[in-house]
Structure 1
Amino acid sequence: MNRQEIIRIMGKRLDIPRLASIRDIFIFSCFTGIAYSDICRLRKDQIISDSGKSMYIHLYRTKTNHPAFIPLLPQAKKIASFYIGKGESEYLFPTISNQKSNAYLKELADICHIRKRVTFHVARHTFAVTVCLENGLPIETLSKMLGHTNLKVTQAYARITYRKVTEDMKVLKNKLKDWKPESGPMKSDDI
């Protein structure tokens, strides 16, 4: 999903509790990269706060049993804070089947006028590509947060988008702007 679609889902007023809940869980995953199987098992005690009021998730991935350490971005922190104080369960979110979750996400996408297929796994890709890589997070850091066993697994998420190429070239252009010859066949005005 792109930035505009995420913002559209985040800003949609929802009066149906099941859709509001699945939206929260989906957006939480968009800003943490946590897979559906790990969301279902995410306990409140796996969210740790430090003295600076930062929050982190520390868990072992269901699929690989590999550790994942994820500092919470403000969007995920807000959702986590709401659910930590809600209910008696040790788990952060109410659990529904993956099939129901994806059915609700399809309904949510329709309500938000998003025409692409939205499943829970899309949130993990959104975190990797739209939230992290397109905003310059190093792939090695992303790999650690996703709990991947090696960098090659993470590289599958690293499709290069037009936006990323454009932004990277702007940075490079800015770094090279003072590469002008003092004298010689090329005049500074030619560059």
Structure 2
Amino acid sequence: MENKEFENGILKQVKDLFLFSCYTGLAFTDLLSLKPEDIFTNDDGMKWIRTSRAKAGTSVYVLLLKRVISILNIYNQDSEYIFPGTTNQNINRGLKIISEICEIKKHLTFHIARHTFATTITLMNQ
């Protein structure tokens, strides 16, 4: 999916949001509530997200990998929120279409992105 280009703007957005969550572990609600001021550059020059979980209110700090930064660069940093509003239902509908186009046999939902982060990004970088 990551290497597939989509002409349809909605499918591009669905892919971007899904991949952003795969690389950050942010839940759908937390991702949509991200604001430009939640992104900061640390003293070492690395970019981070500093936010809090909507569900639990706990603080979250996430190092931004290059792929995440490239996704962020696509979206308007001048808006109140980084990503345009949508619904989880619309994202999951788009993921169904993407999985059919990419011939992914697994039933994709947005929540799977968080599992991907946990099993791929986190465990591989121990």
| TM-score, normalisation: structure 1 | 0.63
Provide the C-alpha distance between the structure 2 equivalents of 1:28 and 1:99, rounded to a whole number of angstroms: 17
* Match in the other structure for 1:124: 114
Does residue 24 of structure 2 align to residue 32 of structure 1? yes
| Runs of 5+ consecutive residues of structure 2 not aligned to the other structure | none
* Match in the other structure for 2:10: 18
Question: What are the residue-to-residue correspondences of 1:83-98 with 2, within 5 Å?
Answer: 83=75, 86=76, 88-98=78-88
After superposition, the Cα gap between the structure-2 partners of 1:44 and 1:87, relative to the gap in structure 1 and judged at 3 Å, is: closer
- The structure, 1 or 2, with the larger RCO (C-alpha pairs under 8 Å, 6+ apart) is 2
How many residues were matched structurally? 126
Provide the C-alpha distance between the structure 2 equivalents of 1:55 and 1:20, rounded to a whole number of angstroms: 24
Deviation at 1:52, TM superposition (A): 4.2
Partner amino acid for 2:27? A
Provide the C-alpha distance between the structure 1 equivalents of 2:70 and 2:46, rounded to a whole number of angstroms: 11
Q: Rg bigger for which structure?
A: 1
Of 58, 67, 71, the residue aligned with 1:75 is: 67
Provide the C-alpha distance between the structure 2 equivalents of 1:60 and 1:112, rounded to a whole number of angstroms: 33
Of 100, 106, 110, the residue aligned with 1:110 is: 100
Backbone CA RMSD of aligned residues: 1.4
| Runs of 5+ consecutive residues of structure 1 not aligned to the other structure | 1-8, 138-191
Contact 2:36 2:77 (C-alpha < 8 Å) held by counterparts: no
Of 79, 89, 102, the residue aligned with 1:99 is: 89
Provide the C-alpha distance between the structure 2 equivalents of 1:94 and 1:74, rounded to a whole number of angstroms: 21
Percent identity over the alignment?
A: 36
Which is helix-richer, 1 or 2? Answer: 1
